[in-house]
Amino acid sequence: MSTDEAVKTTAPQQLKGKASKTERRNLRALSWGHALEWYDWAIFGLLSVYLGAAFFPSDNPLASTLNALAVFAVGFVARPLGGVVFGFVADRFGRRKIMIFAIGAVALGSFVIGVLPDYQTIGVAAPIIVVAARLLQGLSAGVEAPLGTAYALELVPNRPGYVAGFFAFFNNLGNLLAPLSIFAISSLLGPAVLAEYGWRIPFLIGGVFGLLVLWLRRTLPETLNTEAIRTVGAVPTPENSVWREVRKYWLSVLAAIFIVGAIQAYNYTWIAGLPNLANGTFGEDPTAVFAITTGMGVFLTLGALALSRVLDRFPMSRWFVIARLLAIPTIFLALLYSQPGVGTLAGVMFGGAIVLLLNMTIFVVVSNSLLPQHIRGTALGLGYGLGVAIFGGTASYLLLWLQSLGLMWVFPIYIATLCAVSVVLYVVAKRRNGLFVGK
């Protein structure tokens, strides 16, 4: 039996039953790191208006916001490099140390931004340091999400749907805690204090939270060299190089780029683009805007927990195709928010939340399913990083820019096209290379 055939025959089928206590403990150690990553990226996006004023001052509030969002995108540019470099190291030498490093870097970057003096105090050094911090976070985030999920699938190999829902719960919890913390600060201190220095508090919380995650991850077991992997010859050797195998599965990597990129563009439109459009362009009450994003976060968090209990009942491939096709028409809801109106914003945000929930719950596991275990760190680090960098990290900027030009109608067409392409590539890659997780 060839290596490819052996690996495919070990692809686990969805099983019913509960995960063990040890499996749940390991999943929590990994998924709390995911929560921190999503929290960190969400607060930067949501607070771009205030970051722009502090580190990229301009007479035009829109210009300051766009400058901050450009730095937001810089962090995404670093993701492919981080995913490839650290994913390769993880495929060669193991998962655990890389996952500890990744969360430490995310926490450090968040803390630096929280304590950094503004442009008026230290001049051009302020934006330079912000960019450096985002690059550090981008490098670490490039491996945190794809490798963390691959690691979890190795720790709990027979429950891909459960892993997807479990991780999505914590991802959405991170997204929820971001607007919730800002909403609380805005409510307690007022919008003026939030704009002056209150925006720093969520970044400092992220830095402290990272220390807790580091402590949780100290007991994670290493999975790369388990007997189950060795029996199918999946540990790379000089004769079975990681990069040669990645090139062999180039179609699966390309599919992963669009699977990740399309839904991340949709996601960042909802969690950063529309809220920044409301705050920076339409001048909505920031407390109301953050209340809406917090409410949507509650829905996504609880919804992911519910999905973790049902996803394994049906093939993951079926879930993906249905969810992604539903995303095509719902992205056009963004066009309804073309002028100020908190009620309209709330309707649009919650109207797209159901489809967003299902897609965001399963997209990383679906991407993992197209790749064999021994190259997932490298291949998915590359695919995930490129997808987020090219499409996800630029979505918020593109939305605000097109709206300023009166061309907002172009944006949903762009996202819908990405979603359609992702379905086509997934189906073709699945037929050509098979699936390595679930069905």
**65 token code pair:** 């916001």
The pLDDT tens digits for 189-233 are: 888 888 888 889 999 999 998 888 988 888 888 776 644 444 334
Spell out the per-residue pLDDT of the chain, length 439, in tens.
Answer: 344 443 443 444 444 456 677 878 888 888 898 889 889 877 887 787 788 777 776 666 666 666 676 776 677 677 778 888 888 888 877 888 888 888 888 889 899 988 988 878 888 788 888 888 888 888 887 778 788 888 888 888 778 888 899 888 998 888 788 878 888 888 888 888 888 888 899 999 999 988 889 888 888 887 766 444 443 344 444 445 778 888 899 999 999 999 999 999 998 888 778 888 888 788 888 888 878 888 888 898 999 999 988 998 888 999 999 999 999 999 999 999 888 888 999 999 999 999 999 999 999 999 999 998 888 888 888 888 889 878 987 887 788 888 888 898 999 999 999 999 999 999 999 999 998 877 7
Question: Tokens 């060795």 appear where?
Answer: 230
CA distance 405 to 410: 11
pLDDT at 89: 84
3-state secondary structure of 313: helix
pLDDT at 143: 79
**110 token code pair:** 């968040």
Calculate the CA dihedral of residues 297, 314, 147, 419 and round it to 10 degrees: -70
pLDDT at 13: 46
- The dihedral of CA 282, 283, 286, 287: what is its sign? negative
Query: 114: Cβ–Cβ under 8 A, 6 or more apart, which residues?
Result: 200, 201, 202, 203, 204, 206, 207
* Segment (H or E) for 369: helix 353-369
Q: How many CB atoms lie within 10 A of CB 221?
A: 12
Asked if 438 and 319 touch (Cβ cutoff 8 Å), the reply is: no
pLDDT at 323: 96
| DSSP secondary structure letters along 123-158 | TTHHHHHHHHHHHHHHHHHHHHHHHHHHHHHHHSTT
Residue type present at position 427: V
Residue type present at position 304: A
3-state secondary structure of 405: coil
Query: 256: Cβ–Cβ under 8 A, 6 or more apart, which residues?
Result: 367, 370, 371, 379, 380, 383, 384, 387
Q: How many CB atoms lie within 10 A of CB 57?
A: 15
Name the residue among 310, 267, 316, 33 with its Cα closest to residue 167.
33
CA distance 359 to 254: 18
**218 token code pair:** 């100290």
* Segment (H or E) for 283: none
The pLDDT tens digits for 376-387 are: 888 888 888 889
Residue type present at position 242: V
DSSP character at residue 332? G
Name the residue among 309, 34, 380 with its Cα closest to residue 165.
309
Q: How many CB atoms lie within 10 A of CB 128?
A: 12
